[in-house]
Amino acid sequence: MLLEVRDLHVEFHTREGVAKAVNGVNYSVDAGETLAVLGESGSGKSVTAQAVMGILDIPPGKISGGEILFQGQDLLKLKEDERRKIRGAKMAMVFQDALSSLNPVVSVGDQLGEMFQVHKGMSRKDSRAKAVELMDRVRIPAAKERVGQYPHQFSGGMRQRIMIAMALALEPELIIADEPTTALDVTVQAQVMDLLAELQRELNMGLILITHDLGVVADVADKIAVMYAGRIVEHAPVHEIYKAPAHPYTRGLLDSIPRLDQKGQELYAIKGLPPNLLAIPPGCAFNPRCPLARDRCRTEEPPLYDVTESPVPRASACHFWKECLHG
């Protein structure tokens, strides 16, 4: 297994109290595989990724438990300088907002080249040539002429390509893409997702795609982890989850999105709001919003039940998953 996150806990110490952002997350990605982590804002999907990358703000953040195994090695036990050698070279991240993630006063060529200078000790001239090569690879037209330009001179889609180029620079084994197309228009989103999928195939990378968009997930993912209030509530192969969700939250999400190919009547709306992480409801965190909730849900926190029906394992954190899956 390329990456395995085991029972990860992350909390943030704030003035109002301890916010439990990640509460026992388990997931894994293999080489060439795409895992989609789906969730709404505050579900802990980005925080988990930041912990994996080692870019969590500590303090106020704190990893209070768990293991992050990358190629069998626990990243949490490494020293910062060892971690640094892995970050960028073996695992890299594509961020959502390319404009604020790129340095506005450094040319894109220098920003891309820096990867090679720092990690590979290349000269400025060689690294520049590498930068042009990378820009070509992510299909930026006239790469040679544009290598000296600054981020503001590129369109949103082009900037996101530069982010991808930067993540790919050292041919990492794992890419974490945090909402890589959320800020883009649909036609550009299609270009960028296509590019990402193609490069992933070519380099046989593991990809963790963090998103809230059920459409994007259906297009590219192999398996899905649905997060709610810092926990994975459902984990399943992509085809099965869309056909028959095994958790009421997943079902609610799928029912609440309008479809391009259907003109529905009233949309199903999940009632209420996502929980406050300072005060997660006891029992199942989803119980106040759940149509299936009963007394047991308010007192007993559901474990991640094994609900496998095909060769690929599948899990749901609902006491009444059978009801959800079959009824």
Q: Catalog residues that contact another protein under the rule CB under 8 A.
A: 40-41, 141, 155-158, 185-191, 193-194, 212-219, 221, 238-239, 242, 252-254, 256-264, 266-271, 273-274
Smaller CB separation from another protein, 261 or 295: 261
* 262 HSE (CA, 13 A, CB side): 9
Smaller CB separation from another protein, 15 or 125: 15
- For the chain, the distance separating the N- and C-terminal CA atoms, rounded to the nearest angstrom, is 35
Smaller CB separation from another protein, 20 or 159: 159
Smaller CB separation from another protein, 86 or 217: 217
SS3 of 237-303: the string is: EHHHHHHCCCCHHHHHHHHHCCCCCCCCCCCCCCCCCCCCCCCCCCCCCCHHHCCCCCHHHHHCCCC
Smaller CB separation from another protein, 198 or 300: 198
Q: What is the CA radius of gyration of the chain?
A: 21
| Exposed/middle/buried for residue 183 (C-beta within 10 Å: 0-12, 13-18, 19+) | middle
What is the closest distance, in whole angstroms, from the C-beta atom of residue 300 to another protein in the complex? 24
Cβ-contact 41, 274 below 8 angstroms: yes
Question: 89 phi and psi, to 5 degrees?
Answer: -85, -45
63: its two tokens: 């990893």
What is the closest distance, in whole angstroms, from the C-beta atom of residue 311 to another protein in the complex? 17
What is the closest distance, in whole angstroms, from the C-beta atom of residue 109 to another protein in the complex? 20
What is the closest distance, in whole angstroms, from the C-beta atom of residue 224 to another protein in the complex? 10
What is the closest distance, in whole angstroms, from the C-beta atom of residue 101 to another protein in the complex? 19
